[in-house]
Amino acid sequence: MTSTAKTLLFIICFFTCIHVYAQPELKKASNHPIQYYISLPNNWSPNATWPVVVVLEDAAKEFKKNAERFIAARKDMPFIIVAPLITTNGNYGMRDSSVYPYSKAVWDTIAKLTNCKFDMEGLKNIIADVKKNYAASDKIFLTGFEAGTHLLWAVIFQHPEWLYAAAPVAGNYRGRCIDNDVFSNDISKIQLPINNFTGSQDEAFGKNGKLYSQFLEAKNIALSHGYKNISETEIAGKGHEPLPDHVMNYFYSVWQTVKK
């Protein structure tokens, strides 16, 4: 093979690998029936440790589309993107094969476990799989949009030790999956960065919106249980949207501090 042919082959392989890594791939957790989309960063290799961003979809349940928007926002940042097919984000699509790829047997399991336990145990198994199979970091970054933040707040309150940082975006809070006896005593909660994102033009969840009180309720509960590192970021000119670029940039700034 000539040097020119070798160069051409390398270029084709290089861009093919980038394409493969960028596309979200649907997988099932090895020890749990939950499924999830995953995308590796372009320069991924097993010889380094990679941070993980888990993105929790809202009630529209467009799980792949949600993964894709965060993949686009990742750019050259080193994050593995994971989008689990959760069930705590509203009743739409339950047992609907056009929304979820879950079998009847899985739905029967969910009914026995409850949506909360299915999602929480599923997320724990996903984290373990990604760490084992893709050289992921010990903890994750977690973001959720609107109904996706039901699970986000449950993780914050029950398992702060899983997290580097959390970013609810225009988020719901109704105490879903939360009882008074489940709050964590882990000391990591004290300084866990929790940054609530809203768009300045979000008429429902923005600071002047009628649903903004849901964040204030979650914030007050967090403060009453020892969480101290809670902040807010309002994005000028943005409406009701998951704000992937701003969330990813925030997580990258935290990761720069963590990895030192």
Tell me the pLDDT tens digit for each residue of 49-63. Answer: 999 999 999 999 999
The pLDDT value given to residue 21: 52
Instruction: Check pLDDT > 80 for residue 6.
Output: no
Domain map of the chain by residue range? 31-258
> Would you place residue 179 in the very low, low, confident or very high pLDDT band (cuts 50, 70, 90)?
confident
Q: pLDDT over 90 for what percent of the chain?
A: 88
The pLDDT value given to residue 14: 42
Distance of CA 149 to the CA centre of its chain: 10
* Structure tokens that stand for 141 in this block: 């970054």
The full DSSP string for 171-223 is: ---S-TT--GGG----GGGTT--EEEEEETT-TTTSTTSTTHHHHHHHHHHHH
> Would you place residue 94 in the very low, low, confident or very high pLDDT band (cuts 50, 70, 90)?
very high
Q: Find the distance separating the first CA and the last CA of the chain, reported in whole Å.
A: 45
Q: How far apart are CA 54 and CA 63, in angstroms?
A: 12
Q: How far apart are CA 234 and CA 232, in angstroms?
A: 7
Query: What average pLDDT does range 253-260 have in this prediction?
Result: 91
The pLDDT value given to residue 182: 87
Instruction: Check pLDDT > 80 for residue 11.
Output: no
Tell me the pLDDT tens digit for each residue of 206-251. Answer: 999 999 999 999 999 999 999 999 999 999 999 999 999 999 999 9
Domain over 31-258 is classified CATH 3.40.50.1820: yes
* Helix/strand/coil for 126: helix
